[in-house]
Amino acid sequence: MAIRPIIRMGNPILRLKADAVKPEHADSLVSIIPDMIATMRDAGGVGLAAPQIGISLRLMVFEVPASRATNLNGDKPSGVQVLINPDVSPATPEKELGWEGCLSIPELRGEVSRYKQINYTGFNGEGRPIEAFAAGFHARVVQHEIDHLDGILYPDRMIDLTRFGYVDEFAKIQEQNFSPDTDNKDGRANG
């Protein structure tokens, strides 16, 4: 396992639609997946997509910490999950606003509209099919990471750019009821 550098907004790799993982990539995944998990955890994130470490493949890792899960159906705490060649669809048309951060956009947060409930499919690290339902924070993390695989960064999804800024600035005005969720004060809650 190695900690890999995380590329930041401005690097063109983050704007590419990542390539599907194919059988010929299997050998390289043996080292990439543990490196991604180690990198995500070292950076204090809850998700990381392969393009964020400079690898344009449809591969992501994520977890739902107990501190972030609502414990409602589809939003339970989970350990690290690997998702290869994921696809996502809304389970309902309902969306909600929520604060997001990103390891590729350090120290910044923004309020993003996402589907409240989703269905997603893909393959796990052993190549077995996954079909899952997610809600709440779990759904938000999956959508955020899949966006990375499609060359989309969370500011692209923002409706109101006045709700985008540095975490430390939001903390200064928290008492004015304008700050993001500050469970992770360094702004790296998502991948």
Active site residues per annotation: 145
Place of tokens 């779990």: 138
What pairs with residue 104 in β-bridges?
Answer: none
Alpha-carbon distance of 133 to 135, in angstroms, equals 7
Amino acid (1-letter code) at residue 78? S
With beta carbons less than 8 A apart as the criterion, state whether 68 and 87 touch: no
Question: What does the chain come to in residues?
Answer: 191
C-alpha angle with apex 117: 120 to 158, nearest 5 degrees? 100
